[in-house]
Structure 1
């Protein structure tokens, strides 16, 4: 009998890339007449959420290369969303191709001790959550790989405590059954109702 092999931990780059591919499909499905619709993320309408989402990969590429990042204040025009997303996805792939970045210290405002792997986990979660928000607001279905959603849930669950008193960006945990799909567990842990 062959000995059991220890599975390698997932490469966060592949999960982030997969989450971005799913987000690209949802972004492409947003119509201009939907820009003012509300989203499950109370701080944003569709237009504001898209612009926030578009900033994420730019931040991941900048932080991976050691550059400063400031969220762009100006809205990206609707007809440029996909090109902006694809450009930032390519930048992320290029910057994060170096395996050494995964263990590099990359301080985040919410986690000053973060590694590159932590950063990718947090931003995979960010992309999945906001893609879900956007899909809900615009009547779309996001088709994630199950392992990506599980990875995002585990990253959020490990990084975000149940007590949210000091974290105003997230609401209280919305209980879901333990055997619920990971997307429902992720959404509930983020304070949204699945």
Structure 2
């Protein structure tokens, strides 16, 4: 499995930002594939996740001013010298910065898929980045204690389904 890059994270963050920008005013209360969240709560979750990773990497907290601000702060934290080499605290426990980068890419991509599904948009992420996120997720999920996992159990999906659907199903989304 190849290692992710901060440039890949920047790309998926930007693509997810386009999906967020494409949310119509009447879609913010629509349900999402994340059963407990509507579109607004899901976007708030992504912003909070960006802030969590920023704080973990940089020690700098503070409430971001929306998605773009949270994304810029997070990317700056991942780009800081030594960020990928340090051990950081994430919801699963303490992990190397490179693992945190893998986690954030997978999370942003899957939540972008969630937003696209909920709002009738098309999620467009590079297949190679999604393949990398899927390989990482398949390797990492068995090590996550069930009481610490933020994901639903993997769902069935055809082996020949698009890679983004296979990632979504791996992380508990029903894709059919």
Q: TM-score, normalised by structure 2?
A: 0.86
Match of residue 118 from structure 2? 137
Give the gaps of 5 or more residues in structure 1.
Answer: 1-7, 77-82
Contact 1:18 1:148 in 2 (8 A): no
Return the alpha-carbon distance in structure 2 between the equivalents of residues 42 and 97 of structure 1.
33
Return the alpha-carbon distance in structure 2 between the equivalents of residues 116 and 50 of structure 1.
24
Give the C-alpha shift of residue 193 in structure 1.
Answer: 1.3
Match of 2:82, SS? helix
Give the C-alpha shift of residue 51 in structure 1.
Answer: 0.8
Deviation string 1:79-131 (CA, Å, 9 cap, x unpaired) is: xxxx732222322232222352112111223132x011111111111111111
Equivalent in 149, 153, 165 of residue 134 of structure 2: 153
Return the alpha-carbon distance in structure 2 between the equivalents of residues 43 and 159 of structure 1.
24
Decide which structure has greater strand share: 2
**Any runs of at least 4 consecutive aligned residues in structure 1 with deviations exceeding 6 A, and if so which?**
none
Give the gaps of 5 or more residues in structure 2.
Answer: none
Match of residue 92 from structure 1? 74
Aligned length: 175
Structure (1 or 2) with the larger CA radius of gyration: 1
